[in-house]
Copies of this chain bind each other. A is one copy, B any other.
Amino acid sequence: MSETAIQTYTRADEAFDCLQTAIVKGDLAPGEKIGEVELCSRFNLTRGPLREALGRLESRGLLVRRPHAGVKVVSVSADELIELYRIREVMEGLAARQAAERMTDEEIRDLLATLDTHEKMIEEAQGQAYYQAEGDYDFHHRIATGSRNTKLAQMLLGDLYYMVRMYRYRLSTSAGRPHMALGEHRRIVEAIAQRDGELAEFLMKRHINAARQNIEQKIQEGVLTI
């Protein structure tokens, strides 16, 4: 993302971004079957670039496409959401460990600074789940890139986070434990600052595990219907 600014923003890139945010934000409901011409008029595109974008989105698993039958936004069950967190647990655990070994001192300082910002944001906008979610995303984003593991960052940022965020927007909650999460974040950063990769991995895994259990519980309570 922060690699090199794309000189020319091609129409296909535009289509890709538009569709991706539309899916993530829920403007395109999951399971919704949608025509190509419909999408073209909606985003002011022609079918060429659109189809290219559709191909990319399909291979990222955000939508499915049956030949001659149209595209539909992927609809993920509650079970599959849980599975997503299981994957995050091991992958972000690895990211935290490698981040502890490889982040620069400056990156760690920045990470600490963002935590302070998040804390203020939470206090100011009490209960505004949106800010909490954004801060959470920022935190995990920095650790993923800090791992210096190109493919790992690519898989986390390009695949998993978008799917998770899709649910974040839809459920708007799933957070519900802002201060607790912040404390866990702090301890992870501490471990990274001390260059203790093993501990960072352990704490990160436990952090995501807790988030998973939180969601699981809410689903069982019937608060979250998916």
Residues of A participating in the B interface, judged by any CB pair closer than 8 Å: 6-8, 10, 12, 48, 51-53, 55-56, 58-61, 67-68, 80, 83-84, 86-87, 89-91, 93-94, 98, 149-152, 154-155, 158-160, 163
Contact with A10, one of B59, B67, B91, B163 (Cβ below 8 angstroms): B67
- Secondary structure at the A interface, as helix, strand, loop or mixed, is helix
Alpha-carbon distance between A34 and B163 when the two chains are bound, in angstroms: 33
Contact residue among B60, B93, B94, B150 (Cβ-Cβ distance under 8 Å from A80)? B150
Instruction: Please pick, from B51, B59, B67, the residue contacting A8 in the complex, using a CB distance under 8 A.
Output: B67
Closest chain B residue to A80 by CB distance?
Answer: B150
A19 → chain B, closest Cβ, in Å? 13
Q: B150, A68: Cβ atoms under 8 Å?
A: no
Which residue from B86, B152, B158, B163 sits with its C-beta under 8 Å from A98?
B86
Residues of B within 8 A of A90 (CB): 90-91, 93-94
CB A181 to nearest CB in B, in angstroms, measures 22
Contact for A61 among B53, B80, B151, CB less than 8 A:
B151
Q: A55-B53, A59-B158 are in contact. Are A151 and B84 (CB under 8 A)?
A: yes
Q: With A and B bound together, what is the CA distance between A51 and B163 in angstroms?
A: 25
Can you pick out 13 interface pairs between chain A and chain B where the beta carbons lie within 8 Å of each other?
A8-B67, A10-B67, A12-B55, A55-B55, A56-B58, A59-B158, A61-B154, A83-B149, A87-B91, A87-B151, A89-B94, A151-B160, A155-B155
